Amino acid sequence: MAGSLCPAFSFLYMQPYTSDKSHNSTSERTIRYIGFSFAGLAFVLLLVCVNSFRIARQVQKNYESEVLKALNQLKLVNTLHHNEDLVHNLLMSHIATPDPSRRSSLRAGVKQGHEENTVAARALSRIIQDTPKKELLQIIKERAAYYSVADSLMRLSDQNRTAEAVAFSEAYLEPGHQRHEQYLNKLSKQVQAKADSRLHAAITGISSSIDNHVYLLFLAMASAFGAVFIISKAFKSMREENAHLNVEMQERNLLELELSEQRREYKMLFNRNPVPMWVYDRDTFRFLEVNRAAEQEYGYTEEEFLQMTLFDIRPEEERERLLANLQAVNRDADAHSEGFVHKRKDGTLFRVEVRSHTLPRKHGIHPRLVVAVNVQEREHALEQLRKNEKLLREVSSSVPGAVFQYQMERDGSFCFPYISEGVQELCAVTPEEVYRDPLLLYRNLHPNDLAEVQRSTLETYQNLTPWEQELRVWQPEKKKYQWVRGHSLPSSKGNGTVLWNGTFIDITKQKEAQEELTRNQAKLKALLDSSLQAIFLLDENLNVLSFNKEAAADVHRYLLKELKAGQSMVDFVTHSQVPSIIANHARAMRGETVMYEAGQGDYWHEITYQPVISPEQTILGVALNIRNISEQKKSFETIKRNELQLARAQQLAKLGSWEYHVKQDTMIWSTGTYSIYGLQKGKFVPSLHNMLARVHPEDRRRVQKVYGNAIERKSMLHVEHRIMLPDGTAANVMEVAEVICDDSGEVIKLNGTVQDITERKKAEQEITEAKNLLQTTIENIPEVIFTANPDLTIIYISPQCEQITGYPEAAFLGDAATWLQSIHSDDKKPMMQQVLPAVLAGRPQEYEMRLLDSQGRLRWLLLRLSPGLDSTGNVTRIYGSASDMTAYKEAEARQQELSQQLLKQNQNLQQFAYIVSHNLRAPIANMLGLTSIYNQNEIGSPLNRKVIDNLIKSAQLLDATIRDLNDLLTIRSQIGNVYENVYFDCLLQDVLELLELENNTREAVITHDFTSAPAVRIVRSYAQSILLNLLSNAVKYKSPDRKLAISITTFRLNGYICLRVQDNGLGIDLEKQQENIFGLYKRFHKGIEGKGIGLHLVKTQVEMLEGKVEVESEPQKGTTFNVFFKS
Amino acid sequence: MSTLKKVVLIDDDQVNNFVCESIIRNEKFADEVISFEWAEDALQYLQKQSDEDTSHFPELIFLDINMPGMDGWSFIDEYRKLPKQATSSCCLFMLSSAVDRKDILTAKSNDEVKEFFSKPLSPEILDIIREEYISG
The yes-or-no verdict on residue A3 having pLDDT over 50 is: no
The whole-number average pLDDT for the span A453-476 is: 84
Whether A504 shows a pLDDT value over 90: the answer reads: no
pLDDT for B43? 92
Q: What is the pLDDT of residue A520?
A: 76
Query: Which residues are registered as beta bridge partners of A755?
Result: A655, A734
pLDDT at A469 over 70: yes
Question: A610-619 in b/e burial notation, b at 16+ Cβ within 10 A?
Answer: bbbeeeeeee
Is it the case that residue A1059 has pLDDT exceeding 90?
A: yes
Chain segment B42-91, per-residue pLDDT in tens: 999 999 888 887 788 999 999 998 887 788 889 999 999 988 888 888 89
Residue A103: CB atoms within 10 A of its CB come to: 19
How far is the alpha carbon of A1042 from chain B, nearest alpha carbon, in Å? 23
Tell me which of A924, A928, A933 to substitute to probe the interface with B (most B C-beta atoms closer than 10 Å): A933
Residue in A926, A946, A1092 nearest the CB of B13 = A926
Q: Which domain holds residue B121?
A: 4-133
Q: CA–CA separation, A1044 vs A622, rounded Å?
A: 153
DSSP string of B107-136? Answer: HHH-TTEEEEEESSP-HHHHHHHIIIII--
Residues of A with Cβ-Cβ distance to B22 under 8 angstroms:
933, 943, 947
CB contacts under 8 A, B 8-27 vs A, are 13-16, 18-20, 22-23, 26
Q: Which residue type occupies A360?
A: P
Q: Which residue has the higher pLDDT, B130 or A621?
A: B130
Least CB-CB distance to B15: which of A915, A926, A1086? A926
Over residues A1114-1125, mean pLDDT: 89
Asked if residues A1093 and A964 have their Cβ atoms less than 8 Å apart, the reply is yes
Inform me whether the C-beta atom of residue B73 falls under 8 Å from chain A C-beta atoms.
Answer: no
Tell me how close the Cα of B62 comes to any Cα of chain A, in angstroms: 15
**Nearest-neighbour CA in chain B from A1067: distance (Å):** 14
Residues with Cβ within 8 Å of A1003's Cβ and at least 6 positions away in sequence, in order, are A1043, A1044
pLDDT reading at A1085 higher than 70:
no
Express as a percent the part of chain A with pLDDT over 70: 92
Question: Which residue from B minimizes the CA distance to A929?
Answer: B120
Cβ distance B15 to A953 less than 8 Å, yes or no, reads yes
Measured between CA atoms, how close is B48 to chain A, in angstroms? 21
Residues in chain A: 1127
Alpha-carbon distance of A1078 to A1088, in angstroms, equals 17
Residues of B whose CB is below 8 A from A1083? 68-69
Nearest CA in chain B to A1084: B69
In DSSP terms, A847 is beta-bridged to: A863
B97 touches chain A (CB under 8 A): yes
Indicate the pLDDT class of residue A1083, thresholds 50, 70 and 90. Answer: low
The answer to whether A480 touches A509, Cβ cutoff 8 Å, is no
Q: Which residues of A touch B124 (CB under 8 A)?
A: none
**How distant is the Cα of B114 from the closest Cα of chain A, in angstroms?**
21
Give me Rg for the CA atoms of chain A. Answer: 85
Of residues A114 and A1107, the one with the higher pLDDT is A1107
Which positions in chain B touch A932 (Cβ < 8 Å)? Answer: 19, 23, 120, 122
Q: Write the DSSP assignment of A1041-1096 as a string of letters.
A: TS--EEEEEEEEETTEEEEEEE--S----HHHHTTTTTSTT----TTS---S-HHH
Mean of pLDDT values over A54-80: 82
Is the pLDDT assigned to residue A293 strictly greater than 80?
yes
Q: Determine the Cα–Cα distance for residues A324 and A303; give it in Å rounded to an integer.
A: 27
- pLDDT tier at A417, thresholds 50, 70, 90: confident
Per-residue pLDDT at A18 exceeds 70: no
Question: What's the CA gap between A955 and A953, in Å, rounded?
Answer: 5
Query: Would you say A497 and A506 are in contact if contact means Cβ atoms under 8 Å apart?
Result: no
Cα A455 from Cα A453, distance rounded (Å) = 5
Question: Is A1040 a residue whose pLDDT tops 70?
Answer: yes
Task: Quickly state the pLDDT bin for A1082 (edges 50, 70, 90).
Answer: low
- Asked whether the predicted pLDDT for residue A579 surpasses 50, the reply is yes
The total number of structural domains that make up chain B: 1
Residue A979 is which amino acid?
Y
In sequence order, the β-bridge partners of residue A587 are: none
- C-alpha A232/C-alpha A34 separation (Å) is 10
Q: Which of A932, A954, A1092 sits opposite B15 (nearest CB)?
A: A954
* Minimum-distance CB partner of B100 among A917, A947, A1086: A917
Q: How far is B115 from chain A (nearest CA, A)?
A: 18
Whether residues B98 and A921 touch (CB distance < 8 A) is answered with: yes
What's residue A1074's pLDDT?
65
Check whether B93 has a pLDDT greater than 90.
yes
Per-residue pLDDT of A615-666, as tens digits, reads 777 777 888 888 777 777 777 777 777 777 777 766 667 788 888 888 888 8
Question: How far is residue A282 CA from its own chain's centroid?
Answer: 95
Q: β-strands A1056-1062, A402-408: how paired?
A: unpaired
Q: What mean pLDDT is predicted for residues A107-123? A: 80
CA distance B24 to B59: 14
B105 shares contact with chain A (CB less than 8 Å) = no
Least confident of A62-66, A995-999, A1078-1082: A995-999
Contacts of A309-314 spanning 24+ positions with Cβ under 8 A: A309/A280, A309/A284, A309/A285, A310/A280, A310/A285, A311/A285, A313/A342, A313/A343, A313/A344, A314/A340, A314/A341, A314/A342, A314/A343
Question: Which chain B residue is nearest to residue A1082, measuring alpha carbons?
Answer: B68
- In chain B, what's the furthest Cα-to-Cα distance? 38
pLDDT-derived band at A136 (thresholds 50, 70, 90) equals confident
pLDDT tens digits for range A981-1021? 999 988 888 888 887 744 555 678 888 899 988 999 988 88
CA neighbours closer than 13 Å in the CB half-sphere of residue B11:
28
pLDDT at A166: 78
As beta bridge partners, residue A480 has: A475
Residue A893, classified by CB atoms within 10 Å of its CB into exposed (0-12), middle (13-18) or buried (19+), is: exposed
pLDDT at A400: 61
**Candidate from A60-64, A453-457, A558-562, A809-813 with smallest mean pLDDT:** A558-562
For residue A811, give Cα distances in angstroms to A782, A877, A887: 19, 20, 24
The predicted structure's pLDDT at residue A10? 34
Taking each continuous run of H as one helix and of E as one strand, the counts in chain A are: 33, 32
What confidence category does residue A228 fall into, taking pLDDT thresholds of 50, 70 and 90?
A: confident
Closest-CA residue to A786 (of A719, A875, A881, A906): A881
A929/B119 touch (CB, cutoff 8 Å), yes or no: yes
Torsion of CA A207, A212, A213, A214, to 10 degrees: 90
The mean per-residue pLDDT over the stretch A581-602 comes to 81
B86, B112 contact by CB (below 8 A):
no
Please report how the helices A886-933 and A942-973 are oriented relative to each other, as an axis angle in degrees rounded to 10: 160
B13, B15, B99 ranked by CB distance to A917: nearest: B99
Could you give the CA distance from residue A883 to residue A804 in angstroms, rounded to a whole number? 8
Query: Where residue A1072 falls among pLDDT bands split at 50, 70, 90?
Result: low
Measured CA to CA, the distance from residue A868 to residue A840 in angstroms comes to 9
Q: List CB contacts of A643: < 8 A, sequence separation 6 or more.
A: none
Nearest CA of chain B to the CA of A1089: how many Å? Answer: 11
pLDDT of residue A488: 85
Q: Is A385 a residue whose pLDDT tops 90?
A: no
Pick the closest to residue A581 from A570, A595, A567, A592 (CA basis). Answer: A570
Average pLDDT, chain A: 81
What is the predicted pLDDT for the residue at A976? Answer: 65
- Could you tell me the pLDDT band of residue A396, with boundaries at 50, 70 and 90? low
Between B15, B69, B120, which is nearest A1086 by CB?
B69
* Burial class of residue B27 in the structure, from the number of CB atoms within 10 Å of its CB (0-12 exposed, 13-18 middle, 19+ buried): middle
Contact A1086 B38 (CB under 8 A): yes
When pLDDT is cut at 50, 70 and 90, the band that residue A11 belongs to is: very low
Average pLDDT over residues A90-117: 80
Looking at residue A292, its pLDDT comes to 85
Q: Do B68 and A914 touch (CB under 8 A)?
A: no
Kindly determine whether residue A1083 and residue B99, on different chains, have CB atoms separated by under 8 Å: no
Residues of A in contact with B118 (CB under 8 A): 925
Nearest chain A Cα distance for residue B20, angstroms: 8
Q: Tell whether omega for the bond before B120 is within 30 degrees of 0, i.e. cis.
A: yes
Q: How far is CA A764 from CA A723, A734, A769, A802, A1099, in A?
A: 18, 14, 8, 31, 72
The answer, yes or no, to whether residue A833 has pLDDT greater than 50, is yes
Q: Which residue of A has its CA nearest to B121?
A: A929
d(CA A735, CA A754): 4
> What pLDDT shows up at residue A5?
35
Q: CA A1061, A1062, A1063, A1068 torsion: positive or negative?
A: positive
pLDDT at site B34: 93
Q: Do A917 and B18 touch (CB under 8 A)?
A: no
Spatial neighbors of A974 by CB under 8 A, at least 6 apart, are A1104
Contact residues for A33 (Cβ-Cβ < 8 A; gap 6+): A230, A231, A234
Q: Is B120's CB within 8 Å of A929's CB?
A: yes
Contact (Cβ atoms closer than 8 angstroms) between residue B34 and residue B84: no
Neighbouring CB atoms inside 10 A of B117's CB total 18
Q: Tally the C-alpha atoms within 13 A of residue A322's C-alpha that lie toward its C-beta.
A: 17
- Chain B contact for A1115 (CB, 8 A cutoff): no
Sequence-distant (≥ 6) Cβ neighbours of residue B106 within 8 angstroms: B73
How far is it, in rounded angstroms, from Cα A717 to Cα A536? Answer: 57
Q: What chain B residue is nearest to A950 in terms of C-alpha separation?
A: B15
Return the biggest CA–CA distance within chain A.
237
Q: What is the mean pLDDT of residues A500-510?
A: 79
d(CA A191, CA A66): 12
Q: How far apart are CA A852 and CA A866, in angstroms?
A: 23
Interface of A with B in 1039-1068 (CB under 8 A): none
**pLDDT at A259 exceeding the cut of 80:** yes
CATH code: domain of residue B128: 3.40.50.2300
| Cross-chain Cβ contact A943/B22 below 8 Å | yes
Task: Indicate the SS3 state at residue A119.
Answer: helix
- For β-strands B113-118 and B91-96, DSSP reports them as parallel
A471, A486 Cβ separation under 8 angstroms: yes
Residues of B in contact with A917 (CB under 8 A): 98-100
Specify the higher pLDDT residue, A1085 or A59. Answer: A59
Sheet with A1056-1062, edge to edge strand ranges: A1005-1009, A1045-1053, A1056-1062, A1118-1126, A1108-1114
Half-sphere exposure of A797 (CA within 13 A, CB side): 25
Do A932 and B122 make contact, defined as CB atoms within 8 angstroms? Answer: yes
The C-alpha atoms of residue A414 and residue A488 are separated, in whole angstroms, by: 15
Cβ-proximal residues to A429 (8 Å cutoff; 6+ apart), any chain:
A423, A440, A441, A443, A444
CB B28 within 8 A of CB A943: no
Chain B within 8 Å of A909 (Cβ-Cβ)? Answer: no
ipTM of model: 0.89
Closest approach of A914 to chain B, Cα-based (Å): 7
Cα–Cα distance, A896 to A876 (Å, whole number): 41
At A254, the pLDDT band (50, 70, 90 cuts) reads very high
Least confident of A405-414, A774-783, A898-907: A774-783
Residues A1043-1065, mean pLDDT to the nearest whole number: 90
